[in-house]
A = this chain, B = another copy of it.
Amino acid sequence: MPGRKLREERELFYTYLRQNGMKKTRQKDLILEVFLTTEGHLSVEDLYALVKKKDRKVGIVTVFRTLKTLTGCGIAREIALGDGLTRFEHSYHHPHHHHIICTQCRKAIEFVSPELERIQEEIVRKYHFQPLLHRLQVYGICEDCLEHRPAPEPPRLDTEKIFARDALRMAILMETRGLAFYRDAARRNLDPDGREVLKRIVEEEEKHLADLQAELKRFCRMEKGLETAPVFLHFDPCELERLVPDLEEYEVDGTLRLDTRRSLEMAMVLERRAAEFFKDYSAKFLETEGKRIFVQFAEEEQRHFESIRRRAEEPLSV
């Protein structure tokens, strides 16, 4: 459903107009449409040029005024990228993010970092500020400019989709790591019953991982260039590593011997931690496709946890 967001944005705009006693006009419609169907960091001049292609009678003043309205209802967001121009970017369902800006070719890459948000919150609290918004801008010279390559025209992609892609990738990383853990545990477990239990979980994890990978593939096929677009969501893989139990703690005299019950308990630790981590993690984001993916993944891990717990509670089954 690629048009759902567009429809919601249009609806938001026209509701905003109505609620503020403003009128729907041909010009506003056109400017809205052009803005919504163009990704990137547009200056008023940029947008005016695009609008003029479709209707040369529209004045730049109307573009100024309509952008102000779009900002007012949360569809657009003003940004300054250091070149003296006020630029506008999509705001609706567009995750809050920061920019890395190339001072030579003016290309701006977006990224988000939950760790950064945490630091910002801490600092604001320290100064007793009521935070409104914050932005980090990193200026530098991009790889292309450094190597005197002509900057390839960046595919204009919807950041929400890139965020969703990164969310899926993060879930896949978690699942891959979990799978490796269970495989290792199954291989090393000298208890035959426990080994069978763990093998079953390996199979379940393989299934889940395959599903996630299929979802990512399907997702990336939806839009050309999505697979190779720069990373948007920055996360520290160490954070996931912390969720994985330490097998050594389950060893006795250097050997692993976990019966059915202990194997299931160990698996429950990992699944519960993953479910909690992703639940908390998802809470940091505004309503977006990426958030939905995190929530869904957390629920799947929760379900897997519960399924394992049920096995542990049936004393005679494997």
Cα separation A234 to B122 with both chains bound (whole Å): 9
Minimal Cβ-Cβ distance residue in B for A99: B134
Q: Which residue of B lies closest to A231 (CB)?
A: B126
List, in ascending order, chain B residues with CB within 8 A of A143's CB. 127-129
DSSP majority for the A interface? mixed
| Across-interface contacts of A122 in B (CB, < 8 A) | 234
> Does A59 make an interface contact (CB < 8 A)?
no
Q: How far is the CB of A113 from chain B (nearest CB, A)?
A: 6
Nearest-neighbour CB distance to chain B for A276, whole angstroms, equals 22
Q: Which residues of B contact A127 (CB under 8 A)?
A: 100, 109, 111, 142-143, 230-231
Q: How far is the CB of A93 from the nearest CB of chain B, in Å? A: 22
Residues of chain B with a CB closer than 8 A to A128's CB: 142-143, 146
A131 closest partner in B (C-beta): B140
Q: Tell me the chain A residues, 118-144 only, with Cβ under 8 Å from chain B.
A: 119-120, 122-124, 126-143
Say whether B124 contacts A140, CB under 8 Å.
yes
Interface 0/1 of A49-79, CB less than 8 Å to B: 0000000000000000000000000000000
Check A296 for interface membership: any CB of B closer than 8 A.
Answer: no
Residue from the list B102, B124, B131, B137 in contact with A129, Cβ < 8 A = B102
CB of A155 closer than 8 Å to a CB of B: no
CA distance A103 to B131 in the complex (A): 10
Cα A112 to Cα B49 with chains together (Å)? 41
Report the separation of the CA atoms of residues A91 and B182 in the bound assembly, to the nearest whole angstrom.
Answer: 55
Known: A139-B134, A234-B123. A129 touches B116 (CB 8 A): no
- Residues 142-198 of A contacting B (Cβ, < 8 Å): 142-143, 146
Assess whether A136 is in contact with B139, with CB atoms less than 8 Å apart: no
Cβ contact within 8 Å between B142 and A129: yes
Within 8 Å of chain B (Cβ to Cβ): is A82? yes
Distance in angstroms from A218 CB to nearest chain B CB is: 26
A129 to B124, CA, bound (A): 29
Residue A80 is within 8 A (CB to CB) of chain B in the complex: yes
**Complex interface: chain B residues within 8 A of A139 (CB):** 131-134
- Is A215 located at the chain interface by the 8 A CB criterion? no
In the docked arrangement, what's the CA distance between A119 and B115, Å? Answer: 8
In Å, the complex CA distance between A128 and B128 comes to 36
**A97 shortest CB reach to chain B, Å:** 11
Q: A111-B127, A130-B146, A134-B138 are in contact. List 10 more A-B contacts (CB 8 A).
A: A100-B123, A100-B129, A116-B116, A122-B234, A123-B138, A127-B231, A129-B140, A129-B143, A132-B140, A137-B137
